[in-house]
Structure 1
């Protein structure tokens, strides 16, 4: 059994989904594992991770609109230390999650045909985000 770890960093351009599949797949391939489990962990409380369709851009737009309706910006939140998008960003991250696990089978991540890995930025301004990767297997 072997293990490998790494931190990937990504620049966001404000709210939205940033596809990180290519960077993750590249790092996994460099590790030369045949089978195992990849864990991804977002090191932030106002951004999240998800696996979603990567073919139709309307899916990303609909997801962004839906999450904005679920956790809208509002003056009703007590926590607004960094602006009106502060608490909604935390709620959105809580709803979508900050970690993923993806099996590695035959040296390839077991993603479906249309599945991509996304960092979901919930803040309006650009950020530098970090995602910790942990691969265990052989």
Structure 2
């Protein structure tokens, strides 16, 4: 019985995550705010599709439990944060997710090593 409940919970989580990624935010796909953030102990968070910069900032803080110290908002574009093995980081914005991720990785690699994208979000 316990295994059935766990499996049902995991299936629900998978369905929620996979179905939510294709949906527009509350303001649709255009002219929206988003935010990416990270903080102590590797906490990361993001928000997208918000009507205002303040709403994007507040929404991303919930998963961080208000412990994300680096918060960057963006309007009608994509943003990505890359972090190196030595914990140095870089953030970039661009028109597309892939371009934002590439730019963040390159910017991080200029001052660090083994850089990888730790969080990204798009508000368009």
Q: Name the TM-score class by shorter chain.
A: under 0.3
TM-score by length of 2: 0.25
Structure that is richer in helix per residue: 2
Structure that is richer in strand per residue: 1
TM-score by length of 1: 0.23
